[in-house]
Amino acid sequence: MSAQSTAPSTPDVARDFSDLEISSTVTSPAATRPSSPIPASLPPSPLPSGKHKIAVIGSGSWGSALAKIAAENAVKRNDEFHSEVRMWVREKIVNGKPLTHVINRTHLNSRYLPDIKLPRNLVATPHLKDVVKDATLIVFVVPHQFLHTVLGELSRPGVLHPGARAISAIKGVEVNGTDIETFASLIEGRVGTPCSALSGANIALEVALGQFCETTIGCPTHEDSLLWSAVFNAPTFRVSAVEDVNGVSLGGALKNIVALAAGFVDGLGLGGNTKAAILRIGLGEMTEFCLEFFEGSQRETFSNESAGIADLITTCYGGRNRKCAEEFVKSGSTFDVIEKKLLNGQKLQGTATAEEVHNFLRARKRVHAYPLFEKVYQIAFEGLPPKSLVRGL
């Protein structure tokens, strides 16, 4: 979902994997993972056609990448899915023409995924109510700053099908005083749809290019895991479903705070030892935060799943938060300036999450228990010198 890291990497890692067979010897409890391959029969659709209908709310790099996979799977399983997948695009004029017309004519989202051909059955749609009309499976992947506006429109009577299910691929948390909520929980509470969560080591461009990766889907029920695995599982996008919506949601949010710390390390010119220590400390704080404040969360989601350790590694070496934090140290510019300079209109998630988590921990009088989270907040918002990052950890 962001530009590649400027941190050193091993040159032999980037090879053509097309001739390799990628398999896993790891086995997992059947209760938390659907069998592979995906069962031929899915839970029934509430539509008269008997087919599920997919809608994607969001069209940035990550939204477009997920929409591409969903649309490809809808065609492959056209006995269970409507082939047309609609994607909400906030209308803009590009070279004198509406952006939705450009995407639907060229099958390219050149602003966020240049040169990536999108499936013909993926239809860019400017009006939200048209995107979700009769949709039974709704993917939320808008910047979190716009989520309340979207939910306000969707919560109007008659907009959503009563049998719809949702999934959130939005990174972040919402804090109100001593209360904290994931976006999956917020969506479920506002519009009344069961909501799963998707997160993992998934840089959008690499996913869209078909480079092999894994993702984790946290689901409230086994039925949800079957449906969302069918929507997203692909030969190069391996889905693992677990019954831990909060753990998957929090992994995707909190790793962005640690990624800022990793970027500070790179900006200071420190080496692999320091970054490895930051990742270990950060993973520990992510895990303990979720276990302390979200009942029923599973430690294994962080240690075993793509949504935990794998996503943390990827983000701390190749994500937008790391990149912007490195620039913060090197340039001395504010994060607002850096965001506009480097992110092509996309939003930086780590700073917003660091502030939300700080406010929550302060309200709960638990700041002292999460020293790395607090150091990142102080550097980003209070002028603490970045070189102070490792002191006292």
Positions marked active-site: 255
CB 221 within 8 A of CB 205: no
Annotate 90-141 with DSSP letters as a single string: ---EETTEEHHHHHHHH--BTTTBTT-PPPTTEEEES-HHHHHTT-SEEEE-
Asked whether the CA dihedral 56, 315, 280, 337 is positive or negative, the reply is negative
For residue 129, give both structure tokens. Answer: 């109510």
For residue 333, give both structure tokens. Answer: 């510019």
**How big is the CA angle at 308 (ends 303 and 310), to the nearest 5 degrees?**
95
Q: C-alpha dihedral over 52, 207, 216, 367, to 10 degrees?
A: -130
Cα–Cα distance measured from residue 176 to residue 180, given in angstroms and rounded to the nearest whole number: 6
Distances (CA, A) of 142 to 87, 208, 268: 11, 17, 33
Cα–Cα distance measured from residue 194 to residue 102, given in angstroms and rounded to the nearest whole number: 34
Task: Please name every residue paired with 81 in a beta bridge, in sequence order, or none if there are none.
Answer: 52
CB 137 within 8 A of CB 54: yes
Amino acid identity, residue 66? Answer: L
Cα–Cα distance measured from residue 255 to residue 122, given in angstroms and rounded to the nearest whole number: 31
Asked whether the CA dihedral 141, 147, 153, 159 is positive or negative, the reply is positive
